[in-house]
Amino acid sequence: MNTPIRRLAFVLLAVLGLIVLDLTYLQVIAGPRYRDDLRNPRLAASRSSTERGPIVSREGIVLAESTAEPGSVQTFERFYPEGPLYGHAVGYTSLLFGNAGLESAYSRDLSSDSDLTMSGIIDALLGREQGAQGIRLTLAHAVQQSAQQALEGRTGAVVALEPATGEVLALYSSPAFDPAVLLGESAVAGDALAADPTNPLLDRTIDQILAPGSAFKVITTAAALESGAANPDSRYADPLALELPGSTAVIRNADREPCGDGTDVTLATAFRRSCNTVFGQIGLDIGAETIGNTAEAFGLNSEISFDLPVVPSVFPTVSLIGDPPATAQSAIGQRDVQATPLQMAMIAATVANDGVVMRPYLVSEWFDRDLNILAQANPVELRRAVSPGTAAVLAELMIDVVDAGTGQAAGVDGAAVGGKTGTAQIPGADPHAWFIGFATLEDRSVAVAVVVENGGGGGTVAAPIARSVMQAWLSS
Which residues are catalytically annotated?
214
* Residue 3, C-beta contacts closer than 8 angstroms, at least 6 positions apart: none
Contact between 447 and 342 under an 8 Å Cβ cutoff? The reply is: no
**What is the separation of C-alpha 338 from the centre of its chain, rounded to a whole number of angstroms?**
13
Burial per residue of 19-41, b for 16 or more beta-carbon CB atoms within 10 angstroms, e otherwise: eeeeeeeebeeebbeebeeeeee
Residue 437 host element (H or E): strand 429-441
DSSP for 147-189, written as a single string:
HHHHHTTS-EEEEEE-TTT-BEEEEEEES---GGGG-SS--HH
Burial per residue of 133-172, b for 16 or more beta-carbon CB atoms within 10 angstroms, e otherwise: bbbbbbbbbbbbbbbbebbeebbbbbbbbbbebbbbbbbb
The DSSP bridge partners found for residue 328 are none
**What is the separation of C-alpha 49 from the centre of its chain, rounded to a whole number of angstroms?**
33
Contact between 348 and 470 under an 8 Å Cβ cutoff? The reply is: no
**What is the Cα–Cα distance from 205 to 298, expressed in whole angstroms?**
17
The DSSP bridge partners found for residue 107 are none
CA distances to 46, 284, 328, 441 from 322, in Å: 57, 11, 12, 45
- Do strands 134-137 and 363-367 pair parallel, antiparallel, or not at all (unpaired)? antiparallel
